[in-house]
Amino acid sequence: MTAILLWILLLLVCWPAALLVLVAYPFIWVVMLPFRLVGVTVDAALDTVHSLISLPARVLRRLD
């Protein structure tokens, strides 16, 4: 919702820039997509490593 309101404000202030943003947004999204996929993959890998490292502490906590 915020992005739409900002775009409308840009349209009122400078309509050529707003049209440029409207045309360029899909291309920027396609360029950013691989970085998002890498981010999700790295986040999942780091969560897995964190779970493996904290596993002994969680097991010992359950034994008490």
What would the pLDDT profile of 39-53 be if each residue is shown by its tens digit? 999 999 999 999 999
Q: What is residue 14's DSSP assignment? A: -
Question: Could you tell me if residue 54 is inside a domain?
Answer: yes
Q: What is the number of domains present in the chain?
A: 1
What predicted TM-score, i.e. pTM, was given to this entire model?
0.59
Question: Could you tell me if residue 42 is inside a domain?
Answer: yes
In this prediction, residue 63 carries a pLDDT of 85
In this prediction, residue 21 carries a pLDDT of 93
Domain extent, residue 38, equals 25-64
Query: DSSP H helical segments within the chain, as ranges?
Result: 2-13, 15-63
Measured CA to CA, the distance from residue 40 to residue 46 in angstroms comes to 10
Question: Could you tell me if residue 30 is inside a domain?
Answer: yes
Indicate if the pLDDT at residue 3 is higher than 80.
yes
Residues 6+ away with beta carbon under 8 Å from 7: 18, 21, 22
Question: Could you tell me if residue 16 is inside a domain?
Answer: no
Question: Could you tell me if residue 46 is inside a domain?
Answer: yes
